[in-house]
Chains A and B, each alone.
Chain A
Amino acid sequence: MQYHTPASFDEATALAATATGTTRFLAGGTDVLVQMRLDLVTPDVLIDVKKIAGVHDIVREEDGGWRIGIAVTGAEMSEHEGLCRDWPGLVEAMDLVGSTQVQGRATLTGNLCNASPAADSVPAMVAAGVEATVTGPKGSRRVPVEAIPTGPGKTSLARGEMISALHVPARVRGGGDAYLRFIPRTEMDIAVVGCGIDLTVEGETITGARMALGAVAPCVVAVRGAPDALVGTALEDAALAALADLAQAACNPIDDKRGTVGFRTHVAGVLARRVARIAYDRARENQ
């Protein structure tokens, strides 16, 4: 096994492009090292990205958005005042991953690239409209995060490509986000259903809505009809019921040891209602 610590994205992508055998990028290692220990993956080439300049930084962009470096950990996000103020739902979602110890290592980018259908941060990122810069030997492109995972453990990143930054949009006035997941315990667990939402309001009236579900399909599911159910409403019972119906209709889950199709679908509706109430309150307070 080869272990590399490139100092730049150019170097990192060049290594990845020319590597032979199984290649893995290593940030916090909370997925890769576990997979190695379980004998699920034995990389021939391991590229540690933590030495690349700037990857540990959370930077405010000129438009008021946030650029999050690919080695930024959950703990660093939770302690970042500006990010917590603007995107509490996104920060909470990442904070649900693992234990306190894991939070000191696990990264937002890693949670995305591991491509687990149950990744907690991903529905929150989709709801927030987060984009990723994908860098490779042929240059860079910017894509919405929902374009990254393509199935359990699979991504759209081509050979030699990696994510070089995540971009969280500027928080508009009257906006609020939230994320909830269902687990049988209180922590240290994996989502049976996850639901992220971002709402904008004017007064009491919802003017924009974006919602995404996790763990109910092979990839994160953006619930496209959310604005139809919510925009123009004040989150009355009928709007919540319509949102829950949309969430349930968007589910395409499986039966497994963590939950049944029926249970996941039902709970998706429950979480959609609950998460919308939290985001609605946050949005109204943010006017």
Chain B
Amino acid sequence: MALDEYKPQKGGEEFETGHDFKYVGTSPDRPDGFDKVTGRARFGADMSAPGMLFAAIVRSPHAHARILRIDTSRAEALKGVKAVVTRADFAGGLSGETWNVLENVMAGDTALYDGHAVAAVAATSALIARDAVKLIEVEYEVLAHVTDVDEAMKDGAPVIRGGAADGSVPEGLHPNVVRYHESGHGDVEAGFAEADLVIEDHFRTEATHQGYIEPHACLASLGSDGRGEVWCCTQGHWNVQKLCAALLGLDTSGLRVTASEIGGGFGGKTTIFIEPVALALSRKAGRPVKLVMSRSEVFRATGPTASASMDIRIGMKKDGTITAADGVFRLQGGAFPGAPMEMTAMCAFACYGLKNVRHVGYDVMTNRPKQAAYRAPGSPMAAFAVESVIDELCEQLGLDRIEVRLKNAAREGTRSSYGPRFQRIGLVETLEAARAHPHYSAPLKPGQGRGVSCGFWFNFGGETSVSLALSEDGSAQLMVGTPDIGGSRASMALMAAEVLGIPYEKVRVTIADTASLGYNEISHGSRVTYASGLATIKAAGDAVQKLCRRAAEKWGISEDAVKWQDGCAVPSGPNAGDFDPLPIAEITASMGATGGPISGHYEATPEGAGVSFATHIVDAEVDPETGKTSVVRYTVVQDAGKAIHPAYVEGQYQGGAAQGIGWALNEEYIYGPDGRLQNAGFLDYRIPVASDLPMIDTVIVEVPNPGHPFGVRGVGETSICPPLAAIANAVSAAAGVRMRHLPMSPPSILAALEKQAHA
């Protein structure tokens, strides 16, 4: 059967043996490129509706305060104000994470962090809405606050919310510890006893924001009939639909959500902040409501990632064998449960085959905004701590950093540090490619240091639904439900083109709204090219099967005697009959008369997302007089399984490295003694600018994922796992002092140098 040519039973393994792809593996222009460079693309804030109102949100100026009274009367009296909402305008009776989301979207009895929403207004202009915000009087009783993870765990620390801990938390811990994780195997103490050298160190990373350029924006309309529409920038509009319906007490299907073009998300747009507020205002005012966050609001009230305090202990023999590894990971994720500490724990030692390993994780609440996913949530900080200790062990034992990692590297069949045995994986291949890369042996100039690190991410599958419809002229319309956050429309079009045998340009890919497809999980977990790609291949295969059937009927032969080749139905062999190839456009031209429209569909929750590994090499130069770091050379080596669109795979590699450079060197949430965020803007929250970055070289390793027809592994997240450690190792080598606290800002490097000089 034709589909088998594209769906090998043995998965991606077939493609090692030289499977020829026609479109997959090429890098054509992205289908959304023209719209984006001409300004025709519509982002979150670009949509308007007749009679639309503009909304603004009242936010707490306190880190922790009881809300005693909200007086909205003066705002409501202002000409042009059409609605004011508070928590009372949202659904009651929620529980679990849905309640947490509502509590974050609009404060209940207590403002839990600086910037927490407490009320919102809708008015006939944005300026009136802004003025109205100033007329809403909120009376607060300021409470003691805590913003640091270690402080929040200490006896006597202010309690964010009593009773928030789940059953995993052992007795005797502070109520701010709300979840606990412990895992591993073997006997770590016995393992440490076998080691020739054991190093134990403490590491810290600060909270960093995803830093997407497009602030959250939406246009919402909700009638008294309970039917509504939302247009918003999001990584997952079915999730917006589900959560908004719950927060407003609606039927899920009563709400139709359309995802706009998205100006970056990186995990930060996998939840909701403003959409339910706009809906509540719209329901009250009876008019559409547009709500656009300012940059300052994005920093204060959307999700940065967690900050971390970590203790790592690793034992090594003189030959480089790791005998045991132990880690304690304390993460704060703001005033709600959910800091990804189990991800941190499970990723920490995943690169290595270990006999003895243990991890302990603490999820700690503080008076900060609710953390949101950020590219491989939890993993980069783990790699920073672990790979720094491995670097120290190599340094003290006089061992080559890549040889030691190769010696301990996880391979197919290795029992992972977090439990299951690995299937086919590509860590060894990335290490070998890094060792062979000219960068690894290039000479360094005085004042420069080189760092190496590996990194790991799980990748994910998730609910996926795809539909493909053929047009009369033989072109194809593909509908997927995963917002395109990294060029995925190009990848989908390539995979559909490959299966259908039609040119890439003949496939139009649309991100369908929630009314047009079944549930699609968010674009997260590096799942889109894997899961939507798999579904696209199968949906296209479904269409191919139907095309073959039409040809069989025309020729009067068995369906099994027709195969699909280069965009045409052809007899499967000499015995099938002698017919000229029947091109797709000829079949579709008459499809109305031969049985109706031809479409392909696929729905599933694929579970074969292959895990992914990377090895990064970094050269850094440190100015010993000012502590300023320049990253002078950077090479990313990562396993993509199969690169569908190699240029966008490289883009993901470079993007992860660029964000990692920011996280390592200058980005951090800075809180004052008053618990207020000090740097809610891009001036003092320092993401790298273009001139801060070197050319980031990339090497695409392809070890096919058996769980995908073409061998794809997700690539978006793994790329941010090694940079923190690789850069810290390079900076530590260049400065001559070990840096164990991120960011390695110039004042912190200078302070470390001075401390060492006086030691």
What residues of B have a CB within 8 angstroms of the CB of A39 in the complex? Answer: 130
Within 8 A of B (CB), among A251-287: 256-260, 262-263, 266-267, 270
Nearest B residue (CB) for A266 = B750
Contact A186 B692 (CB under 8 A): yes
CB-CB contacts below 8 Å: B233-284 with A: none
With an 8 A cutoff between CB atoms, is B689 at the interface?
yes
Q: Contact: B625 with A270, CB < 8 Å?
A: yes
A259 lies within 8 A of B689 (CB): no
B199 at interface by CB-CB < 8 Å? no
Interface residues of B in 652-701 (CB under 8 A from A): 665-666, 670, 678-679, 683-684, 686, 688-689, 691-692
Would you call A189 and B686 a contact (CB within 8 A)?
yes
State the CA gap A51–B173 with chains docked (Å): 68
User: Number of B interface residues, CB 8 Å?
Assistant: 23
Main secondary structure of the interface of B (DSSP, over half): loop
Apart from the given pairs A190-B683, A260-B747, 8 other A-B contacts in the complex at a CB distance below 8 Å = A184-B686, A184-B746, A185-B688, A185-B691, A185-B692, A257-B679, A257-B684, A266-B750
Residues of B within 8 A of A190 (CB): 683-684
Residues of chain A contacted by B95 (CB below 8 angstroms): none
Q: Please tell me if B296 contacts chain A, counting CB pairs below 8 Å.
A: yes
Could you list which residues of chain B lie within 8 angstroms of chain A, going by C-beta atoms? 130, 296, 625-628, 665-666, 670, 678-679, 683-684, 686, 688-689, 691-692, 745-747, 750-751
CB contact under 8 A between A257 and B670, given known A184-B746, A185-B686: yes
Q: Which residues of B contact A256 (CB under 8 A)?
A: 678
Q: Report A227-270 residues with CB < 8 Å from chain B CB.
A: 256-260, 262-263, 266-267, 270
Interface check A188, CB cutoff 8 A: yes
Cα(A202)–Cα(B391), bound, Å: 54
Contact of A38 with B by CB under 8 A: yes
Contacting residues, chain B, for A258 (C-beta < 8 A): 684
Q: How far is the CA of A28 from the CA of B750 in the complex (A)?
A: 37
Let me know if B689 and A184 touch, CB within 8 A: no
23 A–B contacts from the bound complex (CB under 8 Å)? A39-B130, A182-B626, A182-B628, A184-B666, A185-B686, A185-B688, A185-B689, A185-B692, A186-B691, A187-B689, A189-B683, A192-B746, A256-B678, A257-B670, A257-B684, A258-B684, A259-B747, A262-B751, A263-B627, A263-B746, A263-B750, A266-B750, A267-B625
Asked if B689 and A188 make an inter-chain contact with CB atoms under 8 angstroms apart, the answer reads yes
A83 to B692 CA separation, bound complex (whole angstroms)? 29
Whether B747 and A263, one on each chain, are in contact in the complex, defined by CB atoms closer than 8 angstroms, is yes
Is A267 a contact partner of B296 (Cβ separation < 8 A)? no
- Residues of B near A270 (CB, < 8 A) are 625-626
Encode A182-215 as 1/0 by CB contact (under 8 A) with B. Answer: 1011111110100000000000000000000000
**What separation, in Å, do the CA atoms of A182 and B750 have in the docked complex?**
14
Cβ of A239 to closest chain B Cβ, rounded Å: 18
How many cross-chain pairs have Cβ atoms below 8 Å apart between A and B?
A: 47
Chain B residue numbers with a CB within 8 Å of A262 are: 751
Chain B nearest CB from A34 CB (Å) reads 10
Q: Which of B666, B670, B678 contacts A185 (CB 8 A)?
A: B666
Q: How far is the CA of A222 from the CA of B144 in the complex (A)?
A: 44
Tell whether A267 pairs with B626 under 8 Å between CB atoms, given A184-B666, A185-B666, A189-B683: yes
- Contacting pair B678 A257 (CB below 8 A): yes
- Assess whether B130 is in contact with A184, with CB atoms less than 8 Å apart: no
In whole angstroms, what is the CA distance A287 to B627 when docked? 36
Rounded to whole Å, the gap between the CB of A75 and the closest CB of chain B is: 18
Give the Cβ gap from A187 to chain B, nearest Cβ, in Å.
Answer: 6
Query: Within 8 Å CB of A189, what residues of B?
Result: 683, 686
Instruction: Report B578 CB to chain A, min CB distance, Å.
Output: 67
What are the residues of chain A within 8 A of B746 when measuring CB–CB? 182, 184, 192, 263
Q: Which residues on the B side are within 8 Å of A263 (C-beta)? A: 627, 746-747, 750-751
Give the complex CA separation of A267 and B624 in angstroms: 11
For residue B745, which residues in chain A have a CB less than 8 angstroms away from its CB? 184
For B296, B626, B628, the residue with the greatest tally of chain A CB atoms inside 10 Å of its CB is B626
| Bitwise interface map of A from 20 to 51 toward B, beta carbon under 8 Å scored 1, else 0 | 00000000000000000011000000000000
B743, closest chain A residue (CB): A184
Contacts of A260 in B (CB 8 A): 747
Nearest 6 pairs of A and B residues by beta carbon: A263-B747, A186-B691, A270-B625, A257-B678, A257-B670, A188-B689
A256 and B745 CA atoms in complex are apart in Å by 14
Nearest-neighbor residue (CB-CB) of B662 within chain A: A185
Q: Once bound together, how far apart are the Cα atoms of A270 and B625, in whole Å? A: 7
Cα–Cα, bound, A6→B449 (Å): 59
